[in-house]
Amino acid sequence: MNTPFNRKDIEGFQYQTLSKGRWANADLYLFRHDGVDWVVKDFMPCSPIVRVTWGWIMVRREFAALTKLQGIPGVPQEPFMLDGFALCYRFIEGKTLGDTGSEEIKEDFFLRLEDLVNRMHGLNLAHLDIRNRRNIIVDANGEPALLDFQNCVNLENTPWFLRNLFKEIDLSGVYKNWEKYKPESLDSVRKEKLDALNRKRAFWMFKGYPSWMKGDRRS
């Protein structure tokens, strides 16, 4: 398959590191090719055993999700697999939500993020890591974008009793950040949904990995 560039093209070239992974995470680079900014999400720096198992699966899973979501504004565009261990897609100009102050966020930002999440659910995908503010971008026009679909699930293959829970988990990620950044505009219906989810959260298993399991980022 024809791809805009291959691993040989990036080797030896200057690229900016966006994020260093931990033992089971990719490194992410910003690579400019023919005047276009691409992200390379690369599991090659992981240990060989992690790379050929977890990394191999994660790259395919994220690629499949991004392919399904093409056309929805607010997800990384033009995904392709560099090889078995790295995924590429277009860079989104902006800042992560975690690096953005509430005064920089437009009043309807979270409404738009909620809409983006609902559109994603309409395509039968749940993200499951929207609470993480590094996975949300405030783009150069102040619009929301979602990143990091490697943990997403296909709701078509999910038992019915988990489908709604997974959707609620995503929306609670939106409302949690909404409450943090724009509490005055979070209405009582959404707040009640968030509180209900937080009560359930005390019992559920999808609370993320404990920090001792995550390990340190590569230097």
Ligand X SMILES: Nc1ncnc2c1ncn2[C@@H]1O[C@H](COP(=O)(O)OP(=O)(O)OP(=O)(O)O)[C@@H](O)[C@H]1O
* Residues of this chain that bind ligand X (CB under 6 A): 18-19, 21, 25-26, 28, 39, 41, 76, 89, 91-92, 96, 132, 134-135, 137, 147-148
Which are the contacts of 210, defined by CB distance < 8 A and separation ≥ 6? none
Least distance (Å) between residue 189 CB and Mg ion: 29
Query: What is the C-alpha R_g of the chain?
Result: 18
CB-wise, 35 or 159, nearer to ligand X?
A: 35
Rounded Cα–Cα distance for residues 88 and 28 (Å): 9
CB of 173 to Mg ion, least distance (A): 12
Nearer to ligand X among residue 135 and residue 172 (C-beta): 135
Using rule CB under 5 A, residue 62 touches Mg ion? no
Buried b or exposed e, range 14-50, using 16+ CB within 10 angstroms: eeeeebebeebbbbbbebeeeeeebbbbbbbebeeeb
- Residue 92 contact among ligand X, Mg ion, none, beta carbon within 5 to 8 Å by kind: ligand X
Per partner kind, with CB cut-offs from 5 to 8 A, the member of Mg ion, ligand X, none near residue 76 is ligand X
Q: Which is nearer to Mg ion, 135 or 177 (CB)?
A: 135
Count residues near Mg ion (CB under 5 A): 2
Residues 27 and 46: their CA atoms lie apart, in Å, by 9
Residue 138's φ and ψ, nearest 5 degrees, are -100, 105
